[in-house]
Structure 1
């Protein structure tokens, strides 16, 4: 019966053109941008005189406002009010129909093409006007879009989405994996994730109830993805423990636990991708404790290949404010009480700030070779998955070559790379030379004279050895010494995609 109702709902949504592009056309770019800031007034004003099915659905399910029964049944004539009530989408009060779920379109582009889905989740603060329930099921937010954008599309027999929530990562993984297992500690989350998979015609996901890796004990996967409940929350009475973000452990222990679990559940060569937080602070000896060093310790213990990118560091106060506000608590007495609990927790454990970033882990087929822990806080584009794959492949290629074989390569500068040179007025020689990458993480790399000359000559014609020989002659330098100096930089430029 439920599957039949979902089919009827899909028919109505298609007929109404309930799509990302359709909604933007309805209310315009300004209102769309305001909604991303959690402000709905511009969208309400834009829809005030519109009576199309799409406008009704947007009013009800995106803006979280009631509509009349007559207007509702005009917008959803196939499933009708009784069907929508049975599916748990709405409730009727007198002549008004009120939403029980958030339902909105979602679109993206990946290696397989352009995709449009609909995603159901719990109503947010914008609709309820108050703090979230502890069993709140989050929809598609910034973090989930970040992870899906990072996701590699390498075909896999099996994939695992750890802590699936509304199911968005499992649905993405289902596009390149033959079989996906999605786990969550919340039955409500699994029910909504199953609804979303069915609504979008995805039938290769299996949903399992349980904490972290418990539901997949003894199993291994070619790909693991997780936006785990990593938010550092005080273990104090009276502090809400939101299931979608709080794993119930102290500090950043949840991320350490997930890394260890990935080592046990990845197939040889399998890749795990997750988001996480890690703590900075003061250790028992009074020395500064670096957050990335903590992550490095967890990785060393796991034996996994790892590439960790730290994107942001927030001081303890800002971190506390961010996540208290995320739970729907507005400034006031309750906000201040929670604020004090968070700061007490950080102070007691001598935590000064919290880092956030991305982790790409891989189960090595022999011994671990990849260990990149870096801070990259510049602006990046969307769809980084292909760049992640290219970086892993480039690492493997260059790592397999000794210096002699590396020097025989014929390289070319990647198409998105530019070079900047800065001069003191009147000087012929540059004082600063920098390579910049237009794609990927938008990296920059400082150049000295020798490396600048080498990169400039990488046009797909000469080998690295021939170029170094020519530069050595030009600079009247020892060729062997120059080669030993430049080859490590060449390896880095290959791995990070400056040279191909």
Structure 2
């Protein structure tokens, strides 16, 4: 894989102007090849899209065919599609090569929509050719484009303002672009020089200053510095450390087992400013019958700086399913001898550590603010989630800090309102007057469903911001003919949970 040249500002400006003039947007590309082809493209099947664009020589179609799908085009077609940059300029940026009268893409450049609390828009994001464009396995130095995991982390990023953000393992730079929307400055690091050039190119192409790049592993490039926020989609994939197993830079940092995530958790406190947060995706192993989340607890406890931790396990795979996932990800065809050999290497590696399963999820860590109670929350949430979680996570942290300042008397004196996305469901046995099950459903955030008893349901139902919680609890105790002090002692801790998880909001 050839090295990318440092992006020339004049050429980048010409490319940006040409892309805008051609209307090269995500919506326009989807409209150009239609919904069936768009669905197929998302699955790595390019034929329907290429057929939909066949015979078209307009700039949008040429750009979609070459820069989105990675297909070749004539020099004349590219010259017309990119009149300011030209085919030679595209090659000078390292995004294509010219073979006679044909332009052959050496990278992808795709439009990517974004939306967050501050607005919506679009980026153009360059990355290496994917499996579909290459027609085979990926090179080990591959720089990944925007995929499901990177979009997940982008949606998880806190939406509150920050001064300095560190993006560890930046890849094509999508997390850095996202962080720059709320931060004054972003430092993006990676062990791959090619990834750093892609990040610099994407920042320049989208007109974003304030994003700098540094080479190195984990926190080495920023030793002694402090950041308000750290984000990372690190190369956490568990890979056998044996000869003959490809080590892809975008997913494998050379650590054994889940040691990379352990090293990140153990070291991130050193680069966080007081109260600073870190967010990352990661894997953790279930070893020798020990719960994977308990192992993450150990990593957090080993940090030299006290850390708040909110860990959410979204999925758990057995060793075979995990091995198949990542062998296929590298482009090896199921059923082939090479596929069987790689699967066996993964299973043997897991067996040496007596791994029974691998968990995947989100880690939110915070350097515990002085004088505040520590947050230690480890949970499994497998239900589908709609929309970005960043705003909810920010609200939950703010709620935790506020609750930490309220003793039970102060909480009882507070008012609360039910969040707009909360609904109640009651289930009755046929002919029964009283419900056997009462559920609170959350429409946003983590889409939690909680079983509640009649007392808590009554309190939530009455929480309209008018009366203090203590007054409502006393009235409910009188209605249910139970001891008011005992009911208060039972309900207030659960109110704290409802406030943190977003079912209730304090007035």
2:363 to 341, 359, 363: 359
Does 2:323 match 1:317? no
CA–CA distance in structure 2, aligned partners of residues 14 and 272 of structure 1: 35
1:130 to 126, 136, 141: 136
Contact map agreement 1:230 1:245 (CA 8 A) in 2: yes
Contact map agreement 1:197 1:203 (CA 8 A) in 2: yes
How far apart are residue 368 of structure 1 and its match? 5.0
CA–CA distance in structure 1, aligned partners of residues 262 and 37 of structure 2: 41
Q: Give 1:144's aligned residue.
A: 150
Q: Give 2:407's aligned residue.
A: 402
CA–CA distance in structure 1, aligned partners of residues 430 and 296 of structure 2: 45
Contact map agreement 1:304 1:368 (CA 8 A) in 2: no
The residue matched to 1:428 in structure 2 has which SS? coil
Does 2:22 match 1:16? yes
How far apart are residue 187 of structure 1 and its match? 0.5
Q: Give 2:346's aligned residue.
A: 342
CA–CA distance in structure 2, aligned partners of residues 329 and 382 of structure 1: 32
1:238-249 equivalences under 5 Å are 238-249=244-255
Q: Give 2:4's aligned residue.
A: none
The residue matched to 1:461 in structure 2 has which SS? coil
Deviates more, 1:358-367 or 1:219-228: 358-367
CA–CA distance in structure 1, aligned partners of residues 107 and 343 of structure 2: 29
1:424 to 422, 429, 441: 429
CA–CA distance in structure 1, aligned partners of residues 26 and 267 of structure 2: 37
What are the Cα deviations for residues 382-430 of structure 1, in whole angstroms up to 9, with x where unaligned?
2211101001011111122111111111111111000010000000000
Does 2:465 match 1:460? yes
2:419 to 398, 402, 414: 414
CA–CA distance in structure 2, aligned partners of residues 28 and 387 of structure 1: 34
The residue matched to 1:24 in structure 2 has which SS? helix
Contact map agreement 2:225 2:271 (CA 8 A) in 1: yes
CA–CA distance in structure 1, aligned partners of residues 287 and 387 of structure 2: 32
CA–CA distance in structure 1, aligned partners of residues 462 and 186 of structure 2: 47
The residue matched to 2:466 in structure 1 has which SS? strand
CA–CA distance in structure 2, aligned partners of residues 345 and 146 of structure 1: 28
How far apart are residue 301 of structure 1 and its match? 2.1
Q: Give 2:397's aligned residue.
A: 392
CA–CA distance in structure 1, aligned partners of residues 272 and 105 of structure 2: 41
What are the Cα deviations for residues 32-89 of structure 1, in whole angstroms up to 9, with x where unaligned?
1111111112211211132221110111122111111221211111111111111111
Contact map agreement 1:307 1:372 (CA 8 A) in 2: yes
How far apart are residue 463 of structure 1 and its match? 1.2
1:293-308 equivalences under 5 Å are 293-302=294-303, 303-308=306-311
Does 2:446 match 1:434? no
CA–CA distance in structure 1, aligned partners of residues 20 and 206 of structure 2: 11
Q: Give 1:369's aligned residue.
A: 374
Q: Give 2:483's aligned residue.
A: 478
Does 2:255 match 1:252? no
What are the Cα deviations for residues 144-191 of structure 1, in whole angstroms up to 9, with x where unaligned?
000010111222221100011111111111111111111100111101
The residue matched to 1:166 in structure 2 has which SS? coil
1:213-228 equivalences under 5 Å are 213-228=219-234
Does 2:186 match 1:183? no
The residue matched to 1:49 in structure 2 has which SS? coil
2:333 to 326, 330, 333: 330
How far apart are residue 281 of structure 1 and its match? 2.8
The residue matched to 2:420 in structure 1 has which SS? coil
Contact map agreement 2:373 2:404 (CA 8 A) in 1: no
Q: Give 2:67's aligned residue.
A: 61
What are the Cα deviations for residues 295-333 of structure 1, in whole angstroms up to 9, with x where unaligned?
111112222011111111111111101111111111211
Give TM-score scaled by structure 1 length: 0.97
Q: 4+ residue runs of structure 1 moved beyond 4 angstroms? A: none
Give TM-score scaled by structure 2 length: 0.96
CA–CA distance in structure 2, aligned partners of residues 111 and 420 of structure 1: 30
Aligned residues: 495
Q: What 5-or-longer segments of structure 1 have no aligned partner?
A: 283-287
CA–CA distance in structure 1, aligned partners of residues 286 and 324 of structure 2: 17
Q: Give 1:285's aligned residue.
A: none
How far apart are residue 111 of structure 1 and its match? 2.2
- Superposition RMSD in Å: 1.1
Deviates more, 1:92-101 or 1:243-252: 92-101
CA–CA distance in structure 1, aligned partners of residues 136 and 30 of structure 2: 27
How far apart are residue 262 of structure 1 and its match? 1.1
The residue matched to 2:279 in structure 1 has which SS? strand
